[in-house]
Structure 1
Amino acid sequence: MAQYSQSGITTIVVGPEEKLFYVHTNLLRQKSEAFRAALSGKWKKGSDGESEIVLEDEDPDVVETIIDWIYHSVLPKLTTTKLDFSLCLLCYKFAETRMMYSLKNTIVDLLRKDYVQHGYIAEAMEVSKAYKLDLGNTQMGKFLLKSTVYKIMGNHMINKGGDAWEDQLIEACEDGELAKDIVKEVIAYRKVPYGAPYEGEGCYFHDHSDGSACKQ
C-alpha cells in the first residue's frame, strides 16, 4: 500500500446526503477500468492530483463496502454475520458498471461458498432481484439462474421450500425475460443435467473480460 501513499486523493460524493469518502486515486485507477478512464478526464481537478467523483444514485453502504475491498481485498460488510444477499447484488451491480472484474469474481465466490456452507439453494426471488438490477446477462445472473433451475429439476423443492418456493417461482416468472430464460435453462438441463452450480472450485462464473485468469 506504500506505493499509493504519494498518490493524489479522490473525494467520492455519494447519495442525496452527499456522504464523503476519500480514496487514493491510483488505487481507484488500478481497481476499475471505468474510474481509470474517468479520472483522466472530467473528474480530474487541478495539478495536485486531487479529483472528485459524484455518485448521486449510489448507496453509501455499497460504496463503503467497495472501498473496504479496494484497500483490504475483503468484504467485511458481506461476511461478518449472515451473508447479506441484497448488498451482494448491489455491490456486484456497482462492480459491473465500473468494470471491476476481480471484485465481481470475489462476490460470486462468496455467494457460492455461503450456499455450500449452509446447504442452501437459491430462492426464486433472488434470481428475480438480479434481473430487476439488469444482471440477467452477467455471470452472477447465470449463476443464480442455473441454481434456480437446478432446484426445480433436481427435485430439491420438496425438501427446500415446498409450496412457498413454488409460489415464489410463479411470482418471479411475472418478469417475462426471466421466465423465458428459465424455460431455456430447463430445456438445457433436460438435455445435459448438471450438479449444484455452487459446488467446486472452478471459475465458470467468473468474468475475465480484462484478460486475467484464475490460478490453477
Structure 2
Amino acid sequence: MPRENIGDIAAKKFAELLSGPILDIFVGPDGRHWSLHQNLLTHHARFFDETYAINGAPKRIKDNKLDLRDEDPGAFELLVKWLYQGKIDDVSWMPKDVKWEYAFTCQKLYLLCDTIGLQELKNQAIDQFRRGCNEAGLVPGPEEMKPIYERTPPSSPFRKLVSKIAARQIMDPGSEKDATSYRECFAQSPDFAVDVINAIKEGSGGSLFDDPTEGNGCRYHEHDDGESCHKTVKFKDIS
C-alpha cells in the first residue's frame, strides 16, 4: 500500500519525523554532504534503516553515516525535496534551454530511487523525463542509455522506454542515427539489442520485408567496384 504523501501528514506526526537522530549522507565521487532526519528517511524507505540489509549484503549505514558515491548529487537534491515536501519540480514550468538537463537529472533520480526502493518517486521521475524530452525536442543518446541497462532489472519500464526511443531513432528516415550509433550499447548489453529489435517489430505495424530469397540475386554477390552480374542463376523448379 502506498504511503501517505508527506504533505498530507498531520503536523504532530510530521514533527515526530523531524525529531531524533540525524543521518549523514555523502553523495557522488566528491562526497557532497547532507544531514537528514533519519526518522523521516525510514518513514519513506527501509533502505535508510540501520538494521536493514538487502539480500544479506553488508549494511550500508555505519556510525550514522551513509555513502552513496555512485549516485548523482543533482538527483539527490530532487530526492531531498520529495522526502520533505512530497513533490519535485515540474519540467513544464522551466525554460526550454534547461528542460533536457532536468530530464536527464530525473533519469538519474530514477536510478537512485531504484536503489532505495521508492516506487512512487520512480514513477514521477520517469514522467518528468518523458515530458522533458518531449518539450525539449531531444532524446537520450547511446551514452545516456547505457546506465539504464547497467543498473536496472530486465523488467524495468525505463528499459522499455529507452529501447523504444532507440528503435524510433533507427527507423526515422530524418534521423542521422542508425543501428551503428548503438554498437557499443549492443555489445555491452545483449538485452538492449533484443529489446530494440522487438520494439522495431512492434512498431512496424506488422509490415513484412520483401522475401530475400526471391528476385535479383546480384545484390548478394561479390563484385569488383562498379561491376554487375552478367549471368543470372536459375533455380530448378521443384513445384
2-structure distance, mates of 1:22, 1:77 = 25
Greater mean alpha carbon deviation, residues 73-82 or residues 25-34: 73-82
Greater mean alpha carbon deviation, residues 62-71 or residues 79-88: 79-88
Larger Rg: 2
Counterpart amino acid of residue 127 in structure 1: M
**Which residue of 90, 97, 100 maps to 1:83?**
100
Matches within 5 A, 1:18-97: 18-36=31-49, 38=50, 43=61, 51-76=64-89, 81-84=98-101, 85-97=103-115
Q: Does residue 117 of structure 1 match 2:135?
A: yes
Matches within 5 A, 1:120-139: 120=138, 123-134=141-152, 137-139=155-157
Q: Does residue 174 of structure 1 match 2:191?
A: no
Aligned to 2:173: 158
* Cα deviation digits, residues 151-186 of structure 1 (max 9, x gap): 445xxx233x33x45542445433333112212332
1-structure distance, mates of 2:160, 2:166 = 10
Counterpart amino acid of residue 13 in structure 1: F
Q: Does residue 106 of structure 1 match 2:133?
A: no
Aligned to 2:25: 12
* Cα deviation digits, residues 106-139 of structure 1 (max 9, x gap): 1101012223334445545543442244465412
* Unaligned residue ranges in structure 2 (runs of 5+): 1-13, 54-58, 208-239
1-structure distance, mates of 2:126, 2:51 = 27
Tell me the secondary structure at the aligned position of residue 187 of structure 2: coil
> Runs ≥4 in structure 1, deviation > 6 angstroms?
none
* Cα deviation digits, residues 62-118 of structure 1 (max 9, x gap): 333321221223445978522324433322111101101111111101012223334
Relative to structure 1, the CA distance from residue 26 to residue 166 in structure 2 (aligned partners, 3 Å threshold; closer, same or farther) is same
2-structure distance, mates of 1:21, 1:121 = 31
Aligned to 2:197: 183
User: Percent identity among equivalent residues?
Assistant: 22
TM-score scaled to structure 2, two decimals? 0.60
